[in-house]
Amino acid sequence: MSEPTAPIAASGTFVLGGFTDDPIAVRRLGFGAMRITGPGIWGDPADPEIAISVLRRAVELGVDFVDTADSYGPEVSEDLIRAALYPYDGILIATKGGLTRQGPDQWQAVGRPEYLRQCVQMSLRRLGVERIDLWQLHRIDPKVPADEQFGAIREMQQEGLIRHVGLSEVSVDDLRAAQQGLPVVSVQNLYHLQQQQSQALLDVCTADGIGFIPWFPLGGRTLVAADGPLAGIAERLGCTPSQVALAWLLQRSPAMLPIPGTGSVAHLEENCAAALITLDDAAIAELDALG
C-alpha cells in the first residue's frame, strides 16, 4: 500500500472557509464521485465492489476531498461513499442538491425551499452524518427567486445542518448576490484547458480565497488522447496527457481544486499522480496558447 499522503500531498492544500471561524484545510487534488454510478449517471455501477475499491484507493493515495451529489444515480454515489468510507475520518465529503432526475443524462433544477431542505435532510441520512461539511447548490433554479433559495440554505446553515456552503455553475454576479446573505466558500463551474469561460469567476475566487472546483477538468477525450494536442508535452515530461491537463489546472491558480472522477482504479492512480507533475515555463506557454 502506498503511503497515505502520496502522491496527493504534492498538490498542496487549500483552506475552505478561511475567512470564517470554522475553516477546513483540504488537499487540492480531490476526487469527483459522479462516474462511480451507472451509464448516464443513472443507477448502480456494473460492479459496486469496484466502485468501493476506487473510493478506498483514492483515500490511500491521499485524497481527503470527495465531491458528490444526491442526483448522482440518483442517491447511488452517496450510498457507495458511505459503504466505502464511513465514518470519513479526516475526509471532507462535499455533496450537492437542487437537481432532479428524469432518466439517464436528464437533469432539471428545482430550487423551492422545501425541496432544498429535503435534499439536505436526505443527504444527511444517506451519508450517516449530522452535518454536511460542504453542501453546494447544484444549480440556481431560474423559476424560483434566488433570494428564496439562498435564504433556505442560510437557514439550514444556521440550524447546524450545513457547515459550509458552495454554489455550482454561477456567474460573478450570482456569487456576489449570494454573498449578501451567505458565506460562500466554493464554486463549482465547468473549466478545463479548452473551456475557460469562467475565467473571470476564477480570478474573483483566487482574490477572495474562495475554492474553485472545476468540473469536467480533463475536457473531452480528444484533448487527452494519446495522439492529441497534449501528447508532445506529455512525452517530453514523461507523463500522460491527462496528467498534463490536471497539472495545468493546479498551476493555474492556488484556489483551484480539481476533482477528476473515474470508475477505474488504474485511471484513478494516473490522475492522482498528476500532483507530482510540474510544468515548466515552456509547457505553460504552449498550453496557454492552446487554451
Active site residues: 72
Residue 170 class from Cβ within 10 Å (0-12 exposed, 13-18 middle, 19+ buried)?
A: buried
> Number of C-alpha atoms within 13 angstroms, CB side, residue 148?
12
Contacts of 257 (CB under 8 A, 6+ apart): 14, 26, 28, 29, 30, 65, 186, 211, 212, 213, 214
Contacts of 49 (CB under 8 A, 6+ apart): none
CB 199 within 8 A of CB 253: no
Number of Cβ atoms within 10 Å of the Cβ of 254 = 14
CA dihedral (136, 114, 150, 159) in degrees, to 10, reads: -80
**Counts for the chain of helices (H) and strands (E), in that order:** 10, 11
